[in-house]
Structures are given as structure tokens and as C-alpha cells.
Structure 1
């Protein structure tokens, strides 16, 4: 497997970069960059991996990734199917508060905004109730240049700093102090797990991907992710199960469990409740899922 650079450079010559994507699927590799990233998902669904946590994403949502926060918008498997006509659409805004904009962020008038982003360096999701306001701001920034574009960005960042009920994307205890080679190794492991979660993954198998012995891999993974290998695999599987339960893509809970790599329905129910805080059946009922529950 080709290991891509973990730090993805964003084009220079500008302090605000606006990127519009219309693609068959999102960039499929874990990566990071010095810029804060604000992304409006216009079309597409899948799993957002941010730091050491995972979130289901779909069209209409707005996410903010902190500077140097490892992240990956993993499109759902249907986007990679042969002959798929699916596409994703998104607009992202990138800016580096510690680069050319540092002098601006250090102004007394920007203290509250600067403090806000320092507090939320692990990223956050904009609440659904105000997503429309921020997606409109993103469009305005996209269609302006120069001082007008900068003023619109400041206005949007100020609005974010006063928005309530933000959802953190990653654990507060998770830090990103790893080198590019370390990040590339973790990225290769993440990518392997997220593409093979439905099979019976073994510690030996994944350790080989990282070119480590099983014991060394366990220590390495825990050090850099603040979670265990088993816990991470279970998070991936439960995350995928949540999507299947809600979209009704399979006939019953047992089918979902086995499709996500669990070897028994008993183990699935236990792990699901431990991570999601409720049983699969209660999860379906609470979110009006379409899966038929076995009686």
C-alpha cells in the first residue's frame, strides 16, 4: 500500500482558500494540515473520522476541523461500488490562524474568537438548527474576494464563537503531536481497519500493516490514539451498524451485526450498548429506523 504524506499542503499565496468538490467520493486517506477547515457537506454520506472519534455525516451538515487535526471523510461503501453513479459535493474553507493571519487573530478585538478556537481545537459540528445560516455564509465567502471575503470570514467565525450546543468531534485529551512518518503509519492502520471492519480482523493481521509485532503494535496504537485496538475496531463497527440500522439496508438486527464483523448477536448487543448507550432495538425506535426487529 502506498503511504501518502500525512501533512497535506494547502496552496499558498492566499490566506483564505475556498475549495469546492464534486467527486465520486471524498479523499479516502487520513490526513492533516496546518489550516482550520470548515466543510459544508452538500451531498454525500459516510463516516467522519476526527482525531480518535467517529461521526456519521450526511448532506446539509457543517463541520469544523481544528488546525493539524487528523481527519477523514470516509464515503459509504456504495460510493466505491463498480458502476456507481453516486457523487459527493462539498465546499470547504481553509485558513491558518497561526500563519499570515496571526497578526489579525492577535488583535484585542479578536481575542474572543482566538480563545474560542483554542478551546475547540479538537473540532466541532454546527448544530442542525443553525446550519442554514453558516452554509449561507460559506457561499458568500466563496463568491467574494479580497477584503470583503476576509470580513465575511471574520463575521462567520464570530458567529461560531457565540453558537451554543456545539458537538465536539474528538476527545479533549487527544493531542496531535506526532511526526509525519508516525501519522502515515497510523493512517495506514486506520484505512485498513475502516476498509476491512466487516471481516474477522485479527491483531496479528493489523500489526503486520504497521510493520510491528503484535505487542509493539498495541503499545504504539494506544500511545498515539489514546484508545486500544479492539476499542477502535468496535467503534468503527458500531458506527457502521448505526448507519445500517437507520437506513434499513438489511432485513434485521442480526444481519446488521454479522455484516459489521461481529461474530455473534450477543456480542453485538453488548458492544453496541456500551458504545451507543442503548440497545440496537432502542436505537431504531428512538430514531425511527426502518429495520424489522425480530420478536
Structure 2
């Protein structure tokens, strides 16, 4: 289903939709929907593209996505190999604050929760410190129905609204506006780059995916993603490098650089620092220090 606007099937007797997914890979096309989405990735690795930004994801991470926020959880390429036996497992909660819940959130007692929902429109990743408690609350919502489910839902929102310094997944002030046709085209370009980041990809290669001349493609891509082709490709490659550097399965930094599409360690170090504000070795040290704490 290669459409940008996605409709969540909503039962007539429910305002909170809970879905448990066990699939070979995540839905792989850029899309959006009216509902706010909260996703607990119980098992799975890949890259979340949220509007004009990307974030690596791993097992046991939770993300909040705003209403109508274009996004795609892109599973790692290893999930798409012919002999892959990998599975993703995720628990999703969807709700539309502007649908049947609108009058509920207009109650004065829920003003703080409504403000939180408004401020979280650009989405966020739940800090790892709180994943255990929040995932438990999500399970309670899944296990209950009726008024009890609504009570646990409010409890979840109340806890989330108390968290400080949540980092937005994207910049709300620079949100690209896509039509359905543009969403399909941009999604196809994203798919192409994210499946081939480890190979030498040229501007001409990407332009062919969009059936454009290189010059027209440059203008189009910058307008709709706020990235140049090179900056987006570099972010994909560095995002993949960050995952490889921290999963413990690499021999050395140079190996990671070359397997992520860079043809020199010097260029890799320069691009890595420009995107993360850290050298690769500092990034690894910082990551494992935070994990240990």
C-alpha cells in the first residue's frame, strides 16, 4: 500500500486502538494518519524516519508519533533477505485527540494533558530510564477494556506529561508538506537510499528512481525533505554506522566506515563528527557509559 495517508481501522465502540504486531518486517512505506501513535518495539532493529529526521531503533524502545506526522519504521536490510527468519514484534497504541476524544480532552481537569499532547506533536523517543515503567502501563491498556482501559490510558498520559526534556523527533517549524503523490515518490527514494546506503550511490542513481533529471531532482528533494541528496545519504550512513558501532559486532571503526559506504576513514570521521558532534570513538565510549548507568 504505497499511499501517504493511512487509515487506522477504528472499531465503532473504541476510541483507543491497541495492536500487537508480529511480522517479518515493519510496514515499509512513508505514511501518516490522524491518530497519535505510540509504539513499543519489543523486537526489531532499523531506522525511524520522522518527517525530515532519522533515528536508529533497537529492541525495547518506545516512540511517540504526532497526529499526521509522516513516518516510517524502516527495518534493517537483513530483514528483507530471501532466507531471513527475522521477525519484528511491536505493541502500538493509537488515539485521535481531535475525534471522539476531543470533548473529553476539553474538560478543564485534563488541560495539562491536552497541553502535553499539543506540545508533543513532533514526537519523541521515551528515555530508556522510563521504558520499563511505560511499557508496563501500555500492557495494562492492552489487557483491559471499557472504563478500566480508559483509566489506564489517562494514567499513561499523566506519567508521560511529567517527563522533562523530551527531545523532539523532528523540527515542527520545518515540517515538510506532502501530497499523496509526493509522499509516494519521496517514500520510494527513501527506500532506495536506505536499501543501498552501503554501495556507491550517485545523484544520477537517485534521480532515476524519481524519473527526474539530476538538476530537477536536487531542487525537488531539497524542497520536500529539507536535505540535499548528499546530506540525507550521509545521515543514513552515519545512522547505520552508529548502530554497528554499538551492537558489539564490528572489528574496528575502519571496518564500520567501509561497510557503511564510505571510501575513506578520514571522510568517515569528518562526516561522523559533523552529524553527531562526536568522533566515532567518543560516541562509542559515551554510549556504553550511558548503558552501564
TM-score for both structures, normalised by structure 1: 0.92
- Paired residues for 1:221-240 under 5 Å: 221-240=221-240
**Residues in 2 aligned to 1:191 and 1:224: alpha-carbon distance in whole angstroms:** 15
Change over 3 Å in CA distance of 1:255–1:186 after alignment to 2: same
- Paired residues for 1:1-295 under 5 Å: 4-12=2-10, 13=12, 14-288=14-288
Q: Is the 8 A contact 2:176 2:226 kept in 1?
A: no
More displaced, 239-248 or 173-182?
173-182
Q: Secondary structure at the match of 1:90?
A: strand
**Residues in 1 aligned to 2:161 and 2:174: alpha-carbon distance in whole angstroms:** 22
How much has 1:145 moved relative to structure 2?
A: 1.4
How much has 1:177 moved relative to structure 2?
A: 2.8
**Aligned residue number for residue 292 of structure 1:** none
**Residues in 2 aligned to 1:135 and 1:284: alpha-carbon distance in whole angstroms:** 27
**Residues in 2 aligned to 1:126 and 1:268: alpha-carbon distance in whole angstroms:** 29
Change over 3 Å in CA distance of 1:285–1:163 after alignment to 2: closer
Q: Is the 8 A contact 2:113 2:157 kept in 1?
A: yes
TM-score for both structures, normalised by structure 2: 0.92
Unaligned runs of 5+ in 2: none
Q: Is the 8 A contact 1:66 1:123 kept in 2?
A: yes
How much has 1:110 moved relative to structure 2?
A: 2.0
**Residues in 2 aligned to 1:287 and 1:110: alpha-carbon distance in whole angstroms:** 37
Change over 3 Å in CA distance of 1:81–1:46 after alignment to 2: same
More displaced, 206-215 or 262-271?
206-215
Q: Secondary structure at the match of 1:167?
A: coil
More displaced, 133-142 or 161-170?
161-170
Q: Is the 8 A contact 1:43 1:60 kept in 2?
A: yes
Q: Secondary structure at the match of 1:41?
A: strand
**Residues in 2 aligned to 1:274 and 1:142: alpha-carbon distance in whole angstroms:** 42
How much has 1:242 moved relative to structure 2?
A: 0.8
User: 4+ residue stretches of structure 1 with deviation over 6 A?
Assistant: none
Change over 3 Å in CA distance of 1:59–1:76 after alignment to 2: same
Q: Is the 8 A contact 1:273 1:280 kept in 2?
A: yes
Q: Is the 8 A contact 1:127 1:165 kept in 2?
A: no
Structural RMSD (CA):
1.7
**Residues in 2 aligned to 1:155 and 1:108: alpha-carbon distance in whole angstroms:** 17
How much has 1:176 moved relative to structure 2?
A: 4.6
